Amino acid sequence: MRPPNSKANFGRTCFIALLAGHSLVQAATWPNHLIDELDANLYDRRGYKLRSLPAGMSPRCTRFAGNIPGGRTNAADWIRAAFHDMATYNIADGTGGLDASIRFPEEQNRPENTGDGFMNTIIFISPSSNRYFSLADTIAMAMVTAVEMCGGPKIPYRGGRIDALQPNSPGVPEPQQSIEEHIASFARQGFTKADMIGLTACGHSIGGVQNIAFPDIVPPSSDQSNPQGNVNFDSTGVLFDNKIATEYLDGTTQNPLVVGRNSTTNSDFRIFNSDNNVTMSKYPAVFRSKCAELLARMVDTVPKEVTLTDVIQPILFKPVGVQLIWVGGGNLALTGEVRVWNALPSRVTVKWKARDGRSDPAFSAVLKHDTSHTSDPLMPDSTITNRWLDFPSILISSTQSLSSLSFEVLNADGTTKVEDLGGAGYPLQDVIMVANTTCMSPTDVKVRFAIRADIQPIRVYAKTDMFDETRRPTVVTTEVAPPSNPTIVAGYTLWEVALMSASHLTLAVDTGGKTYETPFIGNGSPLGPSLPKCP
């Protein structure tokens, strides 16, 4: 049994408070691909290198799958999908929970999962997932993105969910069930009666009931902008706000699960009224903080085998895609960027140590800021802008090479800071690296790379991402045969492999004792936004 983690009153104040003591947390290992991916999806929502989930909310949270007019929204589908994925949880044995099992047709075909919102959600969001960002983490991220971008509170986000390999047992509540059944269902999921009232109010702040899915609850519509006959739960259907509660309390609600003609399916009424309105009366005032807490608990309800990360805080100084590239002529190019949280320092200097650990005043370069390279986390109640700084063109001889990096930051206020992971420096391997002659041909991707000649490879392989037939991200591993005529150029041997896809391409060499791998680039290719075409 895994008690859901809850942090009470997680409003903006708490969020800022958590940011203080933050630099201690991130010193651990670098790079941490899971944390880097989660950070990018939470905090690069607009602008440079933005991640794709926020596009599902644009414009103004009205977007719906494929831009089909429907009176429906992705925001509503994503929030409902996260709940229905989680609601199979059984606190007694730790099975079920938020694990992307909702992607299986067997679950979607159950009466408790009526409607096409789950398939819509999976189709839209699955391309955002990858080998480090599970579909289950993506479902949780989509829920958080929808709530935060549609007017709701900041929700503390943890990652590390694992995608289920088979459907879970049924267990999602349905509107015609009795209040006793609902209380029992939420209790099995780990939620009290007050939690049930709150969570249902929070979820039903966005979206509504559709005639095509629930013809017995709401009537058909002849309105061309609402062909599916959607009736919103509150008067601000696309906004995450407390109107679901205030309209219920003041008697103006049109919520089809409160004032529907057939009282059998008025489940929201039975739920909201189940403690004589005690909980609901408090909700207009506590809506944002309670919803942040309950929705976080909802997505953190995971199978007992899963250990979630700590709440993801923004990485304040984030080197991205930092790597060596084989450019021929006995040279390595050092490329990469740094994302700096909500500030533009006066100067950031990268300094490196040679392969043998030597440093030298010449082993340094000043990063450049292209003013269009800014991203925005679109966090509720905040105006934060992140600046990205590019490495200039840096060529290093392959015999001298490089072993680690550090950064010297001169802030706008004149203070300085060294970013070096607490003294260790950011380690960089120079054993295997992609070559800039890697390119896309009409039939395949010609991947060229260099391996240090003093290394004895036991196994060399490429990893790319693909999606299985249920849209779960999986890794494809391709073994690479050694070159038939190996020639050593400036201490490196050149290798080549043709791949059908280069999605999230990384190259690895197993030396018996140790495996070296090229960096995982979360969006874009190892050589930039996309691979060049072959000449």
Ligand X SMILES: *[C@@H]1O[C@H](CO)[C@@H](O)[C@H](O)[C@H]1NC(C)=O
Tell me the site size for ligand HEM, rule CB under 6 A: 27
Q: Which does 77 bind (CB under 5 to 8 A by kind): ligand HEM, ligand X, none?
A: ligand HEM
305, 160 contact by CB (below 8 A): no
With CB under 6 A as the contact rule, which of the stretches 99-107, 200-208, 272-280, 354-362 interacts with ligand HEM?
200-208
Token duo for residue 134 = 């599970």
3-state helix, strand, coil in the chain (%, to 5): 25, 25, 50
213 lies in the site for ligand HEM, by CB under 6 A: yes
203 lies in the site for ligand HEM, by CB under 6 A: yes
Nearest distance from C-beta of residue 351 to ligand HEM, angstroms: 49
Place of tokens 């199979």: 88
**Based on the number of CB atoms within 10 Å of its own CB, is 333 exposed (0-12), middle (13-18) or buried (19 or more)?**
middle
Which is it for strands 459-467 and 506-510: parallel, antiparallel or unpaired?
antiparallel
Residue 19 sits at the vertex; the CA angle it makes with 17 and 24, to the nearest 5 degrees, is 120
Return the number of the residue (81 or 396) whose C-beta is nearest ligand HEM: 81
Alpha carbons 111 and 175: distance in angstroms, whole number: 11
Return the number of the residue (120 or 429) whose C-beta is nearest ligand HEM: 120
Q: Which does 200 bind (CB under 5 to 8 A by kind): ligand X, ligand HEM, none?
A: ligand HEM
| Residue of minimal Cβ distance to ligand HEM | 203
Q: Which does 173 bind (CB under 5 to 8 A by kind): ligand X, ligand HEM, none?
A: ligand HEM
Q: Which of 96, 97, 117, 190 binds ligand HEM (CB under 6 A)?
A: 117
How far is the CA of 161 from the CAs of 99, 140, 519, in angstroms? 6, 9, 22
Return the number of the residue (156 or 526) whose C-beta is nearest ligand X: 526
Q: Which does 176 bind (CB under 5 to 8 A by kind): ligand X, ligand HEM, none?
A: ligand X
Nearest distance from C-beta of residue 273 to ligand X, angstroms: 5
CA 242 to chain centre: 26
Place of tokens 């880097």: 36
Return the number of the residue (331 or 523) whose C-beta is nearest ligand X: 331
229 lies in the site for ligand HEM, by CB under 6 A: no
The b/e string for 6-32 (b: 16+ C-beta within 10 A; e otherwise) is: eeeebbbebbeebeeeeeeebeeebbe
210 lies in the site for ligand HEM, by CB under 6 A: yes
Nearest distance from C-beta of residue 248 to ligand X, angstroms: 6
Nearest distance from C-beta of residue 143 to ligand HEM, angstroms: 8
Token duo for residue 118 = 């789950």
Q: Which does 524 bind (CB under 5 to 8 A by kind): ligand HEM, ligand X, none?
A: none
Residues within the interface to ligand X (CB under 6 A): 176, 216, 248-249, 251, 262, 264-265, 273, 276-277, 327-328, 436-437
Q: Which of 61, 149, 150, 199 binds ligand HEM (CB under 6 A)?
A: 199
292 lies in the site for ligand HEM, by CB under 6 A: no
With CB under 6 A as the contact rule, which of the stretches 168-176, 311-319, 362-370, 517-525 interacts with ligand HEM?
168-176
Alpha carbons 4 and 187: distance in angstroms, whole number: 13
With CB under 6 A as the contact rule, which of the stretches 41-49, 171-179, 359-367, 447-455 interacts with ligand HEM?
171-179
Return the number of the residue (264 or 441) whose C-beta is nearest ligand HEM: 264
Token duo for residue 531 = 């691979």
Return the number of the residue (23 or 273) whose C-beta is nearest ligand X: 273
Q: Which does 249 bind (CB under 5 to 8 A by kind): ligand HEM, ligand X, none?
A: ligand X
Nearest distance from C-beta of residue 145 to ligand HEM, angstroms: 13
> Which is it for the CA torsion 90, 94, 95, 101, positive or negative?
positive
Q: Which does 503 bind (CB under 5 to 8 A by kind): ligand HEM, ligand X, none?
A: none
175 lies in the site for ligand HEM, by CB under 6 A: yes
Q: Where are the beta strands (DSSP E) in 134-293?
A: 208-210, 230-232
The four Cα atoms 96, 102, 108, 111 give a dihedral, to 10 degrees, of 40
With CB under 6 A as the contact rule, which of the stretches 36-44, 122-130, 198-206, 473-481 interacts with ligand HEM?
198-206
Return the number of the residue (174 or 408) whose C-beta is nearest ligand X: 174
Q: Which does 72 bind (CB under 5 to 8 A by kind): ligand X, ligand HEM, none?
A: ligand HEM
Packed helices 135-149 and 278-299: angle between N→C axes, nearest 10 degrees: 140
Identify the CA nearest to 294 among candidates 423, 367, 197, 183: 197
Q: Which of 61, 79, 197, 497 binds ligand HEM (CB under 6 A)?
A: 79
> Which is it for the CA torsion 135, 137, 139, 145, positive or negative?
negative
Those residues with Cβ within 8 angstroms of residue 209's Cβ, 6 or more apart along the chain or in another chain: 217, 218, 230, 231, 233, 256, 257
Nearest distance from C-beta of residue 231 to ligand HEM, angstroms: 9
CA 209 to chain centre: 28
Question: What's the farthest any 2 CA atoms get from each other in the chain?
Answer: 82
Those residues with Cβ within 8 angstroms of residue 512's Cβ, 6 or more apart along the chain or in another chain: 456, 458
Nearest distance from C-beta of residue 511 to ligand X, angstroms: 26
164, 99 contact by CB (below 8 A): yes
Write out the binding residues for ligand HEM, residues 82-101 only, by CB under 6 A: 83
Q: Which does 66 bind (CB under 5 to 8 A by kind): ligand HEM, ligand X, none?
A: none
Specify the DSSP class assigned to residue 368.
B
Return the number of the residue (134 or 437) whose C-beta is nearest ligand X: 437
Task: Note the residues at the interface with ligand HEM (CB under 6 A).
Answer: 72, 76-77, 79-80, 83, 115, 117, 173-175, 182, 199-200, 202-204, 206-210, 213-214, 267, 271, 298
